[in-house]
Amino acid sequence: MTSENTSQRCQQSAGITAENTTAALHAYRMALAAAPLSAETRRTYLSKVRGYLAWLAVTDLDGAPLDERQARDWAVRDYRTHLLTVTKRAPATINNTLAAIDDFYTRRGLGPATADRLDLPTQAPRALEAKAALRWLRAIQDHPAPRDRVLALLPFYAGLRVAEAVGLDLGDVRLSARKGILRVHGKGATLRELPIHPQLRADLQNWLDERPDWPGAHTSTALLLNRRGGRLSTRGASDVFRTIAQTAGLDDPITAHTGRHTFATTLIRGGTDLVTVAEMLGHARLDTVRAYTRPTAEDRAKALNLLPTDR
């Protein structure tokens, strides 16, 4: 029997066809479009559910997981195992995928699947250690585009999420001769104000001086523009981070979240109290910020170096 025939047998045994998974994805896309979610959340959820449905279409499963609750639970648990053992996804990534799949099934009227989340590693989120942070900052300063330098520095010096950075408007930046205030629109329609670090302030001013020469400068309220005159997207922002990271020559990839984690870790290890850091990050719960007090992989490696050897 050919692999094509095997695939068709698997689909038929579970009541799954390419047509009904395509229809399910289309219906979910329409439901997301009408939901009060950010554009980034819609894209993320749709991408993760698309991967789940593609897996359903080629996997031998019992029942009809698109329509039956018990079959749904079995399928989601099997997919969780697939992500962990076959594609080697990180536990946090798998948990986020499960959240998207729960949203998919909830909008189909079945409710969330009964599938436990994976335990997350008990160590601090990955932040840049001192030498890597210096190389990252030097790569930013060597980058020729003022807009890109501002974007790369916003997580590092203000702790912004990438969606918060691209969501800034001109009116959210207030600069004086020596100081500045940044107004940030966070999750859940929250609003916070942050003092602007001197280095970030200098690069912001350089960008504001250049911005009038960009397309859309006089019609768009966005602080960070794309080359077509619209607001810079999160995808475009990720490309900027990727470009600068390549010139930094670091072993690990750098994202906006890496800069945000470095911001939080540096403040906490420098003695800043958790309440202040939570407010600056836009976190409502202190438990979220306490993750930055956990030991890092570097801390664990340094601890091993304290052990004596007999040579």
For 238-274, b/e burial (b = at least 16 CB within 10 A) is eebbeebbeebebeeebbbebbbbbbbbbbbeeeeeb
pLDDT over threshold 50, residue 4: no
140 shares its domain with 253: yes
Does residue 200 form part of some domain? yes
290 shares its domain with 161: yes
Least confident of 48-62, 123-137, 160-174, 292-306: 292-306
CATH number at residue 215: 1.10.443.10
From the list 53, 71, 69, the residue with the least C-alpha distance to 13 is 71
Contact 106, 79 (CB under 8 A): no
For 51-68, b/e burial (b = at least 16 CB within 10 A) is bbbebbbebebebebbee
* End-to-end CA separation in angstroms for the chain: 61
215 shares its domain with 287: yes
Q: What percent of the chain has pLDDT over 90?
A: 59
144 shares its domain with 266: yes
| pLDDT given for residue 121 in this prediction | 63
Does residue 306 form part of some domain? no
153 shares its domain with 96: no
174 shares its domain with 266: yes
Tell me: the pLDDT tens digits for 49-85?
Answer: 999 999 999 998 888 999 999 999 999 999 999 999 9
Average pLDDT, integer, range 255-283? 90
Q: For residues 192 and 183, what is the distance between their CA atoms, to the nearest angstrom? A: 6
67 shares its domain with 138: no
For residue 277, the enclosing domain spans 130-296
| Structural domains of the chain, count | 2
103 shares its domain with 135: no
CA distances from 29 to 23, 258, 299 (A): 10, 30, 44
pLDDT over threshold 90, residue 127: no
In this prediction, residue 297 has a pLDDT band, given cuts at 50, 70 and 90, of: low
Least confident of 158-162, 190-194, 286-290: 286-290
| pLDDT given for residue 123 in this prediction | 56
Average pLDDT, integer, range 232-239? 93
Does residue 117 form part of some domain? no
More confident residue, 153 or 310: 153
142 shares its domain with 19: no
Least confident of 9-13, 159-163, 295-299: 9-13
Does residue 234 form part of some domain? yes
83 shares its domain with 168: no
Average pLDDT, integer, range 254-258? 88
| pLDDT given for residue 210 in this prediction | 96
Catalytically active residues are: 161, 187, 257, 260, 283, 292
Q: For residues 133 and 82, what is the distance between their CA atoms, to the nearest angstrom? A: 35
185 shares its domain with 248: yes
| pLDDT given for residue 13 in this prediction | 42
Q: Calculate the average pLDDT of the chain.
A: 87
